[in-house]
Amino acid sequence: MKLSETRYIDDRSLPQKLFLIYWRILWILLKRVLPLRVGFLWRICLVKVHGGVIGWNSRIYGSVKIYDPRNLSIGDFVTVGPHVNLYSVQKIVIGNGTVVSQKSELLTASHDFKSDSFDLVKKCIIIGDDVWLSQGVWVAPGVKIANKTIVGARGLVVKSILESGVYVAPTVDRLG
């Protein structure tokens, strides 16, 4: 079967769809209202009020995209940099002291290209404490990243990193 002949089946309920529409509009309108320092607190409050878990000492920049705040669990002293995409169809857990640098993407859903109906595959992402995802890192659904790990710029993380260390692009091979 050709991909053009497949149909995506959306399994979300109407209340879930309405919440996501409401959240997108609210986030777009309110995420950049205040200056940087006060804006960090404002965005934390927006995420918390809408079901997310996030430490008060964390920083989320105004250009960050959050698909569903209810699927976010972010520790203390975490920085989510400019233009990061948190595609939280499933749970994203980010440990304390972690930095997700600009233009990185954490995607908890993708499509099964082997399926005739191009089914949506949803898996959690778990990132440990004191991790640094450098600029433009792409994290696939179902990945776990160990504490005290560094992933170099433009890294493509498609399988779990279970041992701390420095991993470099393009396929995050371990150095040393």
What is the per-residue pLDDT across 109-143, written as a single tens digit (0 to 9) for each?
998 888 888 888 999 999 999 999 999 999 999 99
Q: Quick one: 11-175 is in which CATH superfamily?
A: Hexapeptide repeat proteins (2.160.10.10)
Q: How far apart are CA 66 and CA 3, in angstroms?
A: 28
| Sequence spans of domains, the chain | 11-175
* Nearest one of 90, 118, 128 to 106, comparing CA atoms: 90
- pLDDT band at 48; cut points 50, 70, 90: very high
Mean residue pLDDT of the chain comes to 90
pLDDT for residue 2 is more than 60: no
The pTM (predicted TM-score) of the whole model is 0.88
